[in-house]
Structure formats: structure tokens, C-alpha cells
Structure 1
Amino acid sequence: MHHEHRGAGSRTVTVFVFPGVRLLDVTGPVEVFTTANEFGGRYRVEIVSQDGAEVITSAGTRLGADLSVDDLTEPSDILVIPGGPEWETVIKDDALLDVVRRLSDQANCTASVCTGAFLLAAAGLLDRRRATTHWRHTRELALRFPSVRVDPDAIFVRDGRMMTSAGVTAGIDLSLALVEDHHGAEVARAVAKDMVVFMQRPGGQSQFSVRSLAPHTRQEMLRGVLDAVAENPGANHTLSAMARRAGVSVRHMTRLFHEEVGTTPARYVEDIRLEAAQAMLETGDDPMSVVARRTGFGSSESLRRAFVRRLGVTPGAYRTSFRTTGVGAKDPASARVSS
């Protein structure tokens, strides 16, 4: 079954599946791209297996394929390589690795999910590139493939036309970033809201991503500044520090933010820090002082003031609202956090 948007300007997303693939590594990206079509996206999604046959996922679920590798008639705009718990066996399959190389050579962008990074590395596609994978396996990736520059903290990494993502739901973050690149931040945010992605993040995930807020900009220098804020919200991101990092004047940096981002530098930094704090509260049990320090608010009181001012709830009330699905919630504040 094809999930598609036909017509000029549409992009083809090819998801390669194999026996033992993790189901969510496949369905997460598929949901992002197909949901994007509801908000103006233009994606045609194909599920491809080596021989065109269905595969049995690691969950025991049968997953049908639209095409075999040999049936592909045109290059893919995006190739998605999911992972699976039996990746150690999969990377010894030379025929499968040949298929991965062949598909990647024909794709504009190759993106792995979770342990799919091991398939890319074993195929030689990550040599001398930055990459990441599930936090539980980053050390193993670095040891097995020393030519790969492993970033253990990132939710996803883009290096040239190769993208790799961390564990489980990080494939959703990566896919949202691609939707933003193609169709803008508004469409990506609409997809994220529709999928309620923060509610789906597992509690054990130590990283968090705020890249969905980072707007597309034509200015490479400014993009570097925006990425630095998103990747480490707790660092020093005063206006003067950002200007120094970019090698421009404070006045020029302020003007760039106004023209390219549509807000002030201070507001942008607070937006990023606020989402980072929300993610930590949704998925972890760190004390408020730790959340405040790691996300750049400094103190619990500063964190509390920002939450009350921007969200209308305290950080404690926000955390409580994400401990359940909200069924039977009596606190009226919980109705406001999703708005």
C-alpha cells in the first residue's frame, strides 16, 4: 500500500524494511510524512523490502512491502533505514548491506533511526562523519567503527546528506526536521501538535530535542547560532555571546533575528529553554533546581516565573499533568498546558 501525495514537487520517501526491524522505527517516520500531507506536505511514502515480501518485525507483527528493491524505478528523495534489536546479526549480512549502499547511492538524503546507524556504518556510509544512535549503543558504535565521529548526546545528527537519530521516537524528531526543511516551521509544528510527540517520548530517554523550534534561515552563520542554542540550552546565550560566536556586532545580530526569525534573541532563547524544560519535566524526575540549571534558567524561581508567565502553570503542575494521559484530571491547569 502506497502512502502518497502525487503531483509536481512531491518527494519520495523510501523506507527499507528487513526481518526483525523495529516496528516503531518504521511507523514513526511514516506517520510524520503522511501526517504532513494533511497540512500541505507533498510526500509519497514507499515501504521497500529486499525481495518485495512482507517481513516479520521484532514485535512479531507482519509488515507488508510495496515494492522490492529491484522494483524501484527512480531515486528517492529520502531513504529511511530503521534499526532493530538484532542489529549485530543484520550487519553481518553482506547482501543486505549491499542493498543499503545501493539505495543510499540513489537517494538525496539517507536517514537512520536508532540502531539503523549500525547498518549505515557497516556499509561504510558514515566514515569520517558525525553520527548518533540510541544512547545505550553509542559507545558500541564508536568502538566498532572508529572512523565514525559519534555524538552520544544528540537526538539527531545531520552530516552532509547523511542523518542519524537516537533511540525509538527520535526518528520522529529527525523526520520533523526534514518536514521543516521542506515545508517550513509552521507545517512541522502542526504535525508535531497533531502527533502529540512529547507525550510519546519514553521516560528513560536522557536527551531531548528542541530543533523543531529552530526556524529555517538563509544565513548559514545565523543557523549555527540557532543550532548552538537548541543543542545546549543551558549554555551562555546572551546577545553579546551569540554575536561574538557569529563574529558580528550586537546590532547586526539583533537585526538578523528580527529579519530571519521574527523575534528578539532573548525571546528565542527563552522559547528554546522553555521547550527543553518542558521535555525534561515530561520525561524525567530531576529536581526543579537541576531542570533550571540544565535548561539555562539558573534557578528554580526563574524557571517557575517563566512557566507561569508563558504557560499559565507552575513547573510542578506541568510535570503532574504529564504523568497520566489526563483521563479524570481534576486540575483545570492541565487543560491549559496543551494550548
Structure 2
Amino acid sequence: MHKVGFLLEEGFQVMALSTQAVFESANLTFGEKFYQVENYSMQGGDIRSSLGMVVQTRAVDEHSTADTWIVGGVNDPMAAPASQAKKRFLQNAAFHAKRMAAICSGAFYLAEAGLLANKTATTHWALAGDMQQRFSDVHIDANRIYVADGNIWTSAGMTAGLDLALAMVEQDLGSEVARSVAHKLVMSQKRSGGQSQHSERVDLSPKSSRIQNALEYARRNLKGSLTVDDLAAAVHLSPRQFSRVFRQETGHTPAKAVEGMRLEAARLLIEQSRQTLDVIAKETGFRDRRHMREVFIRGFGIPPQILRQGARLG
């Protein structure tokens, strides 16, 4: 039996508990109780979530063990730093456990305990900047929904914890069980860790209607060349004026923004269609399949083939 211990803090984010449904479903799919899930806290007893829901927990001590520890986060991790006792517990737990994991802002607690030093990790995109500033020895990849660096796992915010838990099930029980769990939980697909946390077009957030229209034009014409001249002409601006205004409003060059939109469009096609990678590269405006692969590795840290393999578990 594989024991999963959830370490909760007063004011924990209730979404962390939703990941327990993944392990419950895995037990039902596997046909026996492979996972045993228990809730812990430093002091034990009733722990209240940020929403006010009360959960009963066991107190941790030097004898508390689990194969996988999952650390829940709080809404403001800077206002609720880890105690010395919690840091010591996490350090000791990491020495004995198969995996240490954190959901959303729970990554701050792993970092405070020194468990993320010289590792790649992720957290909620809104907290990534603060985390990188506080922990310069951690490589924060805010473009990943979860990261497994050795035996240390971290996930982005909220529903990304489900993806992290499902990836653990796949590692423990295989892809067939993981696919069945995803189906039972009505998860549209098993998302790979390299999937971006949010939409490229939302990130750009242009203010003027002209730049919004330029992005919409680009979205509809990704198969084309989409040069600065093309985009500028579409919104009746000179190329020089368009480039200046575009960068002012989005913080990106037009070329970088178009590359991001191509990347997002290709990702969706890879995950949701049966088209070949050659066809997808052509339809989304990449020079060829090799060019698309280079951009994928730069943007997501994995090649398109790995993303497609993960999507097939859905």
C-alpha cells in the first residue's frame, strides 16, 4: 500500500483536497486499495480552510511517515511562513519519502525547507515572481502546470493539482489506470506538465482595439507569414508605428507574440486532434515540423511527441 500524507496549514486552500479524488478513483479502478490517504497538520486536530471548512488532521511527529507527502498551500504564503518545526519535519520527510510534492503556494514551504534548492519548480503564476525573488536558488518555471524534478513535485495553482496527482497515478500504476481515472473524473484529457498555465492572448492584454484586432487577425491567419507589414496593414498603421504601439501595449514584439499564438494553437491541435505533426506545423504557420519542435522545447521544455503521448491518456 502506498500512503499519501496531505500536510495542511490553518487557512489552507480547499482545492488541495480535490486531488484526493484522484487517488480514490485510482483505488476503484485498480480494484484494490493501493493508496491510503491521510490528512496531517503540525499541531493536529481541526484545521480550518480559507473558506471556513474544518478538516480533522493527525499531528505529525518524528514517527510520521508517508510514501508521498503533498503540502497544501494558503492564499498568502508570505503572511504564513513555515515554522522551524515545519521546516525540520519537511526535511526529515524528504529523506524517507518516495516523493515530496506541493500544490500551488505549498511550493513556498518546500523552498523554505531548502528542498527546492537548485531544482526546477512551479507555482501559481501570480506568485511566481515573488517566489523567484525570495528563493534565488530555485528555477521557477511559471509556464508549467506541474514539474517533477527528481522526487520533488510541484504544481501550479488550483486545478493543476489534479494533473499532478494523475501523473503520480500514472507513475505508480501505469497509463491504463491513469486514463481510466481521468475518464471517471470527467477530466477532458491528461495534460502534460509542459502545458502552459494560461492563454498567450490573455497574457498579452492589449488596451487598444487596434492591437486587439491585430491579434484577432493573427489568430485567424496563423497559417500565413504574419509579418509586421501584414499585421500593420490589417489595422491601417505603418509598420513602424504598429511595432512601437504593439510593444508598448503588450510588452512583446509582434514576432514574439505571433510565435506564442502559433505555439498555443499547435498545442491544442496536438492534444485534441489526430492530425500528424507535419500537418499541424503547416496549419499553425511553422516552417516545418523541425521548427515547431524547436519552439516547443523552448516554450514548454518538452517536444511535441511527448505532449501527444500525454494527451492520449485522456
Give the TM-score range, shorter chain. 0.5 to 0.7
Decide whether the 8 Å contact of 1:20 with 1:86 is kept in 2.
Answer: no
Q: How many residues align?
A: 220
Distance (whole Å) between structure 2 residues aligned to residue 232 and residue 13 of structure 1: 25
Alignment partner of 1:293 is 2:283: no
Q: 1:44 to 1:146 in 2, by over 3 A?
A: same
Alignment partner of 1:14 is 2:5: yes
Distance (whole Å) between structure 1 residues aligned to residue 268 and residue 168 of structure 2: 34
Give the structure 2 partner of residue 210 of structure 1: 191
Q: Aligned to 2:81, which of 82, 87, 91?
A: 91
Alignment partner of 1:69 is 2:60: yes
Distance (whole Å) between structure 2 residues aligned to residue 21 and residue 29 of structure 1: 14
Q: Aligned to 2:96, which of 106, 115, 119?
A: 106
Gaps of 5+ in 2: 204-214, 223-259, 276-313
Q: 1:299 to 1:14 in 2, by over 3 A?
A: closer
Give the structure 1 partner of residue 156 of structure 2: 166
TM alignment of 1:141-152, pairs within 5 A: 141-152=131-142
Shift of 1:121: 0.5
Alignment partner of 1:153 is 2:168: no
Distance (whole Å) between structure 2 residues aligned to residue 145 and residue 31 of structure 1: 32
Distance (whole Å) between structure 2 residues aligned to residue 305 and residue 130 of structure 1: 32
CA root-mean-square deviation: 3.4
Shift of 1:63: 0.9
Decide whether the 8 Å contact of 1:101 with 1:125 is kept in 2.
Answer: yes
- The alignment's TM-score, normalised by the length of structure 2, stands at 0.62
Give the structure 2 partner of residue 197 of structure 1: 187
Give the structure 1 partner of residue 298 of structure 2: none
Q: 1:297 to 1:119 in 2, by over 3 A?
A: closer
Q: 1:295 to 1:78 in 2, by over 3 A?
A: same
Distance (whole Å) between structure 2 residues aligned to residue 194 and residue 80 of structure 1: 22
Once the two structures are superposed, residues 9-35 of structure 1 have per-residue CA deviations (whole angstroms, 9 ceiling, x without a partner) of x1010111120111111x122111111
Higher relative contact order (CA 8 A, sep 6+): 2
Q: 1:304 to 1:137 in 2, by over 3 A?
A: same
TM alignment of 1:1-339, pairs within 5 A: 10-25=1-16, 27-40=17-30, 42-65=34-57, 67-70=58-61, 72=63, 75-198=65-188, 210-211=191-192, 231=194, 289=220, 293-295=262-264, 297=266
Once the two structures are superposed, residues 44-74 of structure 1 have per-residue CA deviations (whole angstroms, 9 ceiling, x without a partner) of 1111111221101111110111x2212845x
Distance (whole Å) between structure 1 residues aligned to residue 29 and residue 194 of structure 2: 27
**Of 189-198 and 149-158, the range deviating more from structure 2:** 189-198
SS in 2 for 1:80: strand
Distance (whole Å) between structure 2 residues aligned to residue 304 and residue 187 of structure 1: 22
- The alignment's TM-score, normalised by the length of structure 1, stands at 0.58
Gaps of 5+ in 1: 1-9, 200-208, 212-229, 234-275, 307-338
Once the two structures are superposed, residues 286-324 of structure 1 have per-residue CA deviations (whole angstroms, 9 ceiling, x without a partner) of 966479823464999xx9995xxxxxxxxxxxxxxxxxx
Decide whether the 8 Å contact of 2:132 with 2:138 is kept in 1.
Answer: yes
Q: 1:80 to 1:172 in 2, by over 3 A?
A: same
Larger Rg, first or second structure (1 or 2): 2
Amino acid at match of 2:3: T
Q: 1:304 to 1:45 in 2, by over 3 A?
A: closer
Decide whether the 8 Å contact of 1:29 with 1:171 is kept in 2.
Answer: yes
Identity of paired residues, percent?
30
Distance (whole Å) between structure 2 residues aligned to residue 174 and residue 96 of structure 1: 23
Amino acid at match of 2:8: V
Once the two structures are superposed, residues 200-250 of structure 1 have per-residue CA deviations (whole angstroms, 9 ceiling, x without a partner) of xxxxxxxxx722xxxxxxxxxxxxxxxxxx7379xxxxxxxxxxxxxxxxx
Once the two structures are superposed, residues 248-301 of structure 1 have per-residue CA deviations (whole angstroms, 9 ceiling, x without a partner) of xxxxxxxxxxxxxxxxxxxxxxxxxxxx9xx97xx99x966479823464999x
SS in 1 for 2:137: coil
Decide whether the 8 Å contact of 1:91 with 1:97 is kept in 2.
Answer: no
